[in-house]
């Protein structure tokens, strides 16, 4: 629990108490600025004194119009110290809205900064600049009462007029006091504060840490967290679900322990995404209207929670009742309006009466929330609204207010506003107006000048008339559906560069538009910050490096963002004439691998091509030689300097060894032999060889083998393109840069700290792989994939907003049967245009982490796989040595690799017979279609098991394609044939029929010692039978019936087995109860098992149950009696195991 504070009082007094306790502790972090508790208190005191000098005191209202800097919180607390209440004025609001709020609240002054002075003067109130506050002797003491107003927050009004909710100090402190006792000191040690001060969650975010000794970390919005200087100090994140969903596309900082969600319904799917961050310990679903002091209900949603989270239980003294329209309570399960009572209910609306606030006969106040709920199994479930109020990105919106503002436009005759959702489930507004002589863009601009952005509809349909129903009201069902929008007010400027085309395409895809002009403003197209995050996430995935959200928000057009796309690092520079280069990171990995296994073809790659119209071999030989001439990496060897550091030496062009085989030789055998070649990368030039197997006069199969230190999957397309062009007699330009230039640039990389920080958080707690096997011998299994299968994979990927790679990755994770798995992902480094025509190992292998828990569906897992892959690709430029080994690898053929080009056809790639990964799953396109390959280590699988694994993977994928919404727990991880074989093996030979029960078997023994106790006391078999019979008879006399469960709470002595036997002989079953366990646990176990009688010794008692002392029982009721028959199918005992839900489970 956190530190407590004195009460009753006002909020600033509680902060003052904490300031005296921990004056040097950090209270506020704003960017790189930090305020201690002492400095916060001093600044707040200076502001209070400044206000007092202007005659501002108790009961007055002061506007606060400040940015989210180090002056914001001192200003709010300073208003309180002056005895006044604050009215938050967001500088981003339109002038008309600011003026209305200031006039409606009759603010006497506005605290602001020099930078925002012009905005503050729009309110008509006197600006007081925090820049001019002079340090002094502290704040004047202003007497007050907990019933004084603390703040006034304006909410959207159903009549079109915003309403100010007056919240008193006692309301606020009541909430903060409860929260301070419910959250841990660790959680409050770094609370991220992102809510606008005009949004009531800001109350807990700004002031809860300060009354409990924690730290407030200010940020402009939730999506700014990844770039926050103090992000690693954040321990608690609080946001609306729509923003959290976007934030969670990347891992949370490793210090985050709790995530709070409120303002919108929280989904089970989002909870699972939150808990995918292993450091998060709990997730809370918060509920509460502004009129009930921010939060009045909380539900803690556990990691294993299934289904949708409930609304929560009342907190801080709140009381709930569910009532019908007449105010009568409704039974559980029926729909009704939630009425809220208790100390959370605020004073009401400023200067207005409302039927929403009621006073009961006992004088207590009740608020009618307008939220429709039903109580199911003791939990409240949200079911919608009784009016037109909705939530947009967490902000409360009364549709009537937007409609009323629209109808004030002189050209608008009638207006209606609806709520819609996009493909991500994020709500937005759509308006329809009957108007003449005005365009949609003009109406949106007009609204922006009068209401905040979250109230401006994304689309406004303009028509001469709106469809009406029989009652004369707008028929909403008959209104046309409005898609995404591009204004026709300005001419569309088409993309002019590749980068502009890429950005415009992604923006159009995210917003659902057919086209986007390069100068179209993102917000004018209907975009918002969450959609902007989707844009930069997709661009980052495609480019292979992070595109910062700030870059787009700074220049929110396709043209503006395009200029910032390539700011991912230093430009590639051609190092002309240089014959010595460093190795790239992957080249160093392949060099090390070849040194560890000098006689193994583990780094050899091979491909098979069909060549048509090739009557002579000479043109092919010349074409291969020209490829080597153009690409330095194919004619480079590796040497080691005096410090043991390997480097590349570029040699002059050399002829490619080309072996020709006559018609009739087996192409398969030729290919296997060629692929087994071991290159000596220290001396062999070139690192490319070829074999030509004639199939006829002008047709042949070509096998090309190359060392991985000079080649990758993406290089196949470059090789085929150059060979096809050479054979056709077409000119082939050389690449603009070489692999050596890439290596030089990598050596200058300076952002490793950020990358290491990401991977440390991403892989925290991940399962560790065993060391690579010493024996790298491998084999391959290949399965052709039917066209309908490939089409199904692509369709599911599109539905999930993923790529086919995500579907195969999800299948691999599911097939693993593990709750937490790492799969190596092959990621190309070819995002730069100048690298698309370069042959070389421009590739990384990075781990993608998946957690296929049973509550997810396969569709959920595909989305998780896509997100994990995106995160990995964005952060792929990490040295391989910094990453753990992933024993399973997934690779898909590079999208740019053709299967037919000129006279060439791609047949397949080849296994060399050695592999560093235990399992590699390869999805390749060939001239014959798509194939799924499994390369397996012989030390891991034999051929039959490898074939079974690949068949099992294909079976799982087929099942997933047929029913992607099936929970993962419902998937059989074996094929039907395997299941039948397993069941047959598990059944084993038939068991013999049980002829005797334990009492019968023991009755046959009469000689010898049966039991010896810890102290040496013993019972013979005869004594065991006699003693247990007398106890059994006594139990029957006490009414124990056959099948009943009897508790046994005894010490471990020589009589224990006799008592258990006695219970059986009485026809009952026993429940062991350990005398050392707490009495409450014993009572719970006995009640859960239905026990009414407990056998004890020495006065041990279990509250609420009949205890039979064993010694007394035998002495008084010890005669023998006829006992019931004990049958083999009778219950013998109950044992309780630990339960995953927290409650023990009984096993009989």
> Residue 526: helix, strand or coil by DSSP?
coil
Alpha-carbon distances of 912 from 323, 711, 977, 1101, rounded to whole Å? 74, 14, 32, 74
Q: What is the pLDDT of residue 308?
A: 82
- Does residue 1050 share a domain with residue 1122? yes
- For residue 98, pLDDT over 80 is answered with yes
- Does residue 853 share a domain with residue 730? no
What CATH number is attached to the domain comprising 503? 1.10.1200.10
- For residue 637, pLDDT over 90 is answered with yes
Q: Which of 386, 377, 438 is nearest to 413 (CA)?
A: 438
* 536-580 per-position pLDDT tens digit: 777 877 776 667 665 676 577 888 888 877 654 456 778 777 899
Point out the least confidently predicted range of 319-323, 608-612, 892-896, 900-904. 892-896
Measured distance CA(686)–CA(629) in Å, rounded: 10
Q: Which of 199, 221, 239 is the last residue of a domain?
A: 239
What CATH number is attached to the domain comprising 80? 3.40.50.12780
- Does residue 507 share a domain with residue 441? no
Measured distance CA(949)–CA(961) in Å, rounded: 18
* 391-449 per-position pLDDT tens digit: 666 566 777 778 878 888 888 888 888 877 665 556 678 889 888 888 888 888 888 77
Q: Which of 185, 213, 239 is the last residue of a domain?
A: 239
Q: Could you tell me which residues come within 8 angstroms of residue 1087 by beta carbon, excluding any fewer than 6 positions away?
A: 1104
Tell me the mean pLDDT in the region 474-499. 70
* 183-216 per-position pLDDT tens digit: 999 999 999 999 889 888 999 999 999 999 999 9
- Does residue 1023 share a domain with residue 919? no
> Residue 25: helix, strand or coil by DSSP?
coil
Provide DSSP, 732-778: -PPPSS-HHHHHHHHHT---HHHHHHHHHHHTTTPPPPPPPPS--BE
Tell me the mean pLDDT in the region 1055-1064. 90
Point out the least confidently predicted range of 470-484, 636-650, 890-904. 470-484
**Residue 657: domain span:** 580-746
Measured distance CA(266)–CA(310) in Å, rounded: 9
Tell me the mean pLDDT in the region 817-838. 83
| Tokens, residue 1068 | 């009952």
Measured distance CA(191)–CA(234) in Å, rounded: 6
- Does residue 418 share a domain with residue 520? no
- β-partners of residue 323 are 329, 337
- Does residue 517 share a domain with residue 400? no
Q: Are 1117 and 1033 in contact (CB under 8 A)?
A: yes
- Does residue 886 share a domain with residue 1018? no
Helix (H) or strand (E) holding 797: helix 787-799
Alpha-carbon distances of 620 from 276, 728, 995, rounded to whole Å? 53, 11, 83
Q: Are 284 and 300 in contact (CB under 8 A)?
A: yes
- Does residue 550 share a domain with residue 585? no
Measured distance CA(513)–CA(482) in Å, rounded: 11
What CATH number is attached to the domain comprising 410? 3.30.300.30
Average pLDDT, the chain: 85
Q: What is the pLDDT of residue 994?
A: 58
Top-ranked range on mean pLDDT: pick from 416-430, 873-887, 954-968: 954-968
Measured distance CA(974)–CA(990) in Å, rounded: 25
- Does residue 1087 share a domain with residue 1008? yes
Tell me the mean pLDDT in the region 665-681. 93
Q: What is the pLDDT of residue 488?
A: 47
* 1068-1113 per-position pLDDT tens digit: 999 998 888 877 788 888 888 888 889 888 766 677 778 888 878 7
Residue 1139 belongs to some domain of the structure: yes
Q: Where are the alpha helices (DSSP H) in 1097-1148?
A: 1110-1116
Q: What is the pLDDT of residue 4?
A: 40
Q: What is the pLDDT of residue 311?
A: 85
**Is the entire prediction scored with pTM above 0.75?**
no
Q: Which of 188, 204, 239 is the last residue of a domain?
A: 239
* 209-229 per-position pLDDT tens digit: 999 999 999 998 888 888 788
Q: What is the pLDDT of residue 770?
A: 81
Residues found in the chain = 1148
Of 157 and 205, the one with more pLDDT = 205
Q: What is the pLDDT of residue 648?
A: 95
Residue 322 belongs to some domain of the structure: no
Residue 841 belongs to some domain of the structure: yes
Query: How many domains does the chain contain in total?
Result: 6
What single DSSP character describes residue 914? B
- Does residue 515 share a domain with residue 439? no
Beta sheet of 636-640, edge-to-edge order: 580-582, 646-650, 636-640
Beta sheet of 888-892, edge-to-edge order: 778-784, 929-937, 919-926, 888-892, 821-828, 843-850
What does residue 533 show for φ and ψ, rounded to 5 degrees? -65, -35
- β-partners of residue 236 are 191, 258
Top-ranked range on mean pLDDT: pick from 358-362, 367-371, 530-534, 638-642: 638-642
Q: Could you tell me which residues come within 8 angstroms of residue 653 by beta carbon, excluding any fewer than 6 positions away?
A: 625, 628, 629, 635
Measured distance CA(1092)–CA(1047) in Å, rounded: 8
- For residue 250, pLDDT over 90 is answered with no
What percentage of the chain carries pLDDT values higher than 70? 91
Provide DSSP, 1017-1035: -EEEHHHHHHHHHHHHHHH
Q: What is the pLDDT of residue 2?
A: 46
Q: Are 921 and 933 in contact (CB under 8 A)?
A: yes
Residue 1057 belongs to some domain of the structure: yes
- Does residue 638 share a domain with residue 503? no
Q: Which of 421, 412, 690 is nearest to 530 (CA)?
A: 421
Residue 5 belongs to some domain of the structure: no
Q: How many CB atoms lie within 10 A of CB 454?
A: 18
**Measured on CA atoms in the order 1003, 1004, 1005, 1011, is the torsion positive or negative?**
negative
**Exposure b/e, 361-399, CB count within 10 A at least 16 = b:** eeeebbbbbbbbbbbeeeebbbeeebebbbbbbbbbbbb
Tell me the mean pLDDT in the region 589-608. 92
What CATH number is attached to the domain comprising 944? 3.30.559.30
What does residue 31 show for φ and ψ, rounded to 5 degrees? 65, -120
What does residue 428 show for φ and ψ, rounded to 5 degrees? -150, 165
Of 523 and 1080, the one with more pLDDT = 1080
For residue 6, name the pLDDT band (cuts at 50, 70, 90): very low
Q: Which of 789, 1052, 827 is nearest to 931 (CA)?
A: 789
Tell me the mean pLDDT in the region 89-108. 88
Tell me the mean pLDDT in the region 970-993. 80
* 301-353 per-position pLDDT tens digit: 998 888 788 888 899 999 998 888 778 888 887 888 899 999 999 998 898 88
Residue 490 belongs to some domain of the structure: no
Provide DSSP, 200-217: TTHHHHHHHHHHTT--EE
- Does residue 224 share a domain with residue 188? yes
Q: What is the pLDDT of residue 1107?
A: 84
Residue 953 belongs to some domain of the structure: yes
* 8-18 per-position pLDDT tens digit: 589 999 999 99
Q: Which of 547, 565, 551, 540 is nearest to 873 (CA)?
A: 540
Q: What is the pLDDT of residue 980?
A: 86
* 437-451 per-position pLDDT tens digit: 888 888 888 887 777
Of 5 and 1142, the one with more pLDDT = 1142
Q: Could you tell me which residues come within 8 angstroms of residue 985 by beta carbon, excluding any fewer than 6 positions away?
A: none
Measured distance CA(825)–CA(809) in Å, rounded: 9
Helix (H) or strand (E) holding 827: strand 821-828
What CATH number is attached to the domain comprising 724? 3.30.559.10
Q: Are 510 and 519 in contact (CB under 8 A)?
A: no
Residue 375 belongs to some domain of the structure: no
């Amino acid at each position: 629990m956190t530190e407590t504070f004195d009460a009753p009082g006002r909020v600033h007094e509680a902060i003052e108490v904490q300031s005296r306790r921990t004056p040097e502790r950090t209270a506020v972090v704003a960017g790189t600025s930090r305020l201690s508790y002492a400095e916060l208190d001093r600044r707040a005191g200076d502001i209070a004194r400044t206000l007092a000098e202007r005659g501002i005191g108790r009961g007055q209202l002061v506007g606060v119009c400040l940015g989210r800097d180090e002056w914001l919180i001192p200003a709010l607390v300073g208003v309180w110290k002056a005895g006044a209440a604050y009215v938050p004025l967001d500088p981003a609001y339109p002038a008309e809205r600011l003026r209305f709020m200031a006039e409606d609240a009759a603010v006497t002054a506005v605290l602001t900064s020099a930078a925002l002075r012009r905005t503050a003067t729009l309110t008509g109130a006197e600006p007081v600049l925090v820049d001019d506050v002079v340090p002094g002797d502290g704040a004047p003491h202003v007497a007050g009462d907990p019933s004084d107003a603390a703040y006034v927050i304006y909410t959207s009004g159903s009549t079109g007029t915003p309403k100010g909710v007056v919240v008193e100090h006692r309301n606020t402190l009541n909430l903060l006091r409860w929260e301070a006792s419910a959250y841990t000191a660790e959680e409050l040690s770094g609370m991220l504060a992102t809510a606008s001060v005009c949004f009531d969650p800001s109350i807990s975010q700004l002031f809860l840490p300060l009354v409990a000794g924690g730290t407030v970390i200010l940020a402009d919005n939730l999506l700014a967290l990844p770039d926050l200087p103090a992000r690693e100090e954040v321990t608690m994140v609080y946001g609306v679900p729509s923003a959290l969903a976007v934030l969670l596309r990347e891992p949370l900082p490793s210090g985050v322990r709790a995530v709070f969600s409120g303002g919108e319904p929280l989904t089970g799917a989002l909870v699972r995404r939150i808990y995918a961050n292993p450091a998060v310990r709990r997730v809370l679903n918060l509920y509460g209207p502004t009129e009930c002091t921010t939060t009045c209900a909380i539900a803690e949603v556990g990691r294993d929670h299934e289904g949708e989270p409930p609304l929560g239980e009342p907190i801080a003294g709140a009381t709930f009742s569910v009532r019908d329209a007449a105010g009568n309570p409704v039974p559980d399960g029926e729909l009704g309006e939630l009425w809220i009572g208790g100390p959370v209910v605020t004073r009401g609306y400023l200067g207005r009466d409302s039927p929403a606030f009621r006073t009961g006969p006992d004088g207590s106040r009740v608020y009618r929330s307008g939220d429709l709920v039903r109580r199911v199994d003791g939990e409240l479930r949200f079911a919608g609204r009784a009016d037109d109020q909705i939530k947009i990105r967490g902000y409360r919106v009364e549709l009537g207010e937007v409609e009323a503002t629209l109808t004030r436009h002189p050209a608008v005759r009638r207006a209606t506003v609806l709520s819609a959702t996009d493909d991500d489930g994020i709500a937005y507004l759509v308006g329809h107006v009957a108007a003449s002589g005005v365009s949609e863009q003009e109406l949106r601009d007009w609204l922006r000048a009068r209401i905040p952005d979250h109230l401006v509809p994304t689309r406004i349909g303009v028509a001469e008339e709106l469809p009406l129903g029989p009652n004369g009201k707008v028929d909403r069902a008959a209104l046309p559906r409005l898609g995404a929008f591009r204004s026709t007010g300005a001419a569309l400027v088409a993309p002019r560069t590749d980068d502009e085309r890429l950005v415009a395409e992604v923006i159009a895809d995210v917003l659902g538009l057919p086209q986007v002009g390069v100068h179209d403003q993102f917000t004018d197209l209907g975009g918002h910050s969450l959609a902007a995050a989707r844009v930069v996430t997709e661009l980052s995935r495609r480019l292979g490096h992070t595109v910062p959200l700030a870059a787009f928000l700074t220049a929110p057009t396709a043209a503006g963002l395009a200029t910032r796309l390539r700011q991912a690092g230093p430009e590639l520079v051609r190092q002309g004439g240089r014959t010595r280069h460093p190795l790239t990171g992957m080249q160093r990995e392949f060099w090390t691998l070849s040194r560890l296994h000098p006689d193994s073809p583990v780094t050899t790659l091979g491909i098979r091509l069909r060549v048509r119209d090739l009557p002579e071999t000479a043109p092919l030989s010349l074409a291969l030689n020209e490829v080597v001439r153009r690409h330095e990496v194919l004619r480079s060897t590796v040497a080691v300097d005096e410090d043991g550091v390997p480097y590349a030496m570029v040699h002059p062009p050399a002829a490619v060894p080309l072996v020709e085989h006559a018609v009739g030789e087996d192409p398969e055998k030729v290919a296997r032999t060629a692929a087994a070649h071991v290159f000596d990368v220290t001396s062999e030039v070139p690192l490319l060889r070829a074999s030509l197997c004639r199939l006829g006069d002008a047709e042949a199969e070509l096998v090309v083998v190359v060392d991985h230190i000079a080649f990758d999957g993406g290089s196949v397309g470059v090789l085929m393109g150059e060979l096809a062009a050479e054979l056709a007699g077409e000119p082939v330009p050389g690449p603009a840069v070489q692999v050596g230039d890439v290596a030089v640039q990598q050596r200058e990389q300076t952002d490793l700290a950020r990358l290491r920080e990401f991977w440390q958080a991403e892989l925290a707690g991940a399962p560790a792989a065993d060391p690579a096997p010493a024996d790298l011998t491998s084999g391959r299994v290949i399965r052709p994939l039917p066209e309908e299968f490939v089409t199904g994979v692509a369709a599911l990927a599109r539905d999930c907003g993923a790529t086919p790679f995500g579907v195969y990755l999800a299948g691999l994770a599911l097939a693993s049967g593990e709750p937490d798995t790492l799969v190596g992902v092959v990621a190309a480094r070819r995002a730069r245009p100048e690298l698309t025509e370069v042959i070389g190992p421009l590739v990384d292998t990075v781990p993608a982490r998946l957690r296929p828990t049973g509550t997810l569906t396969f569709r959920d897992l595909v989305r998780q796989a896509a997100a994990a892959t995106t995160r990995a690709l964005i952060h792929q430029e990490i040295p391989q040595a910094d990453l753990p080994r992933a024993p399973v690898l997934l690779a898909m053929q590079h999208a740019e690799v053709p299967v037919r080009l000129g006279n060439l056809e791609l047949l397949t790639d080849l296994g060399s017979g050695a592999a560093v990964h235990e399992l590699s799953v390869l999805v390749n396109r060939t001239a014959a279609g798509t194939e799924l390959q499994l390369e397996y280590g012989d030390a891991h699988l034999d051929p039959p098991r490898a074939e079974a694994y690949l068949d099992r993977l294909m079976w799982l994928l087929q099942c997933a394609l047929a029913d992607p919404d099936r929970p993962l727990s419902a998937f059989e991880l074996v094929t039907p044939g395997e299941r039948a074989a397993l069941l047959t093996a598990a059944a084993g030979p038939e068991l013999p029929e049980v002829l005797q029960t334990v009492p019968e078997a023991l009755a046959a023994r009469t000689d010898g010692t049966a039991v010896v106790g810890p102290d040496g006391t013993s019972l013979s078999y005869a004594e065991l039978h006699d003693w247990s019979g007398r106890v059994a008879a006594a139990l029957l006399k006490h009414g124990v019936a056959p099948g009943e469960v009897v508790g046994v709470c005894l010490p471990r002595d020589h009589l224990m087995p006799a008592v258990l036997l006695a219970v059986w002989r009485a026809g009952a079953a026993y429940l062991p109860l350990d005398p050392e366990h707490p009495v409450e646990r014993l009572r719970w176990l006995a009640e859960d098992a239905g026990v009414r009688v407990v056998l004890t010794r020495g006065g041990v008692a279990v509250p609420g149950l009949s205890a039979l002392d064993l010694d007394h029982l035998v002495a008084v009721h010890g005669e023998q009696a006829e006992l019931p028959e004990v049958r083999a199918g009778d219950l013998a005992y109950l044992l309780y195991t630990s339960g995953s839900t927290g409650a023990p489970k009984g096993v009989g």
